[in-house]
Amino acid sequence: SQTIHQWPATLVQPVGSPLSLECTVEGTSNPNLYWYRQAAGRGLQLLFYSIGIDQISSEVPQNLSASRPQDRQFILSSKKLLLSDSGFYLCAWSVQLGVYYEQYFGPGTRLTVT
């Protein structure tokens, strides 16, 4: 069965510090991968999605970046964090089943920028 991992689970970082969040998927190949952010009490905001290695699309211009160095690895980074970067970061993957897609989410990383 497929499994998605995210780490760390929680993170407290000062403003201006760098960020690296990692997501890996097991049990599938060539998945579509996604990074979402959820601010407190809000819906999910799609940040990046990737259909393959080194193929990344950004949905929201900001100080975050994403990379996909391997088929099942997706990394979210920042060189200098802002207070507004605080939130719950979720990695997800999707697979096409017939005519439908199903999307599965990781456990998330709670980031607090102080």
Q: Are strands 10-13 and 109-113 parallel, antiparallel or unpaired?
A: parallel
102 touching another protein, by CB under 8 A: yes
Min dist. Cβ of residue 111 to another protein (A): 13
Under DSSP, the state recorded for 78 is E
Site string for another protein, 70-99 (x = CB under 8 A): ------------------x-x-x-x-x--x
- Residues 14-43: x/- map of binding to another protein (CB under 8 A)? ------------------x-x-x-----xx
Instruction: Report the nearest approach of another protein to the CB of residue 6 (Å).
Output: 9
Burial 70-101 (b: 16+ CB within 10 A, else e): eebebbbebeebeeebbbbbbbbbbbeeeeee
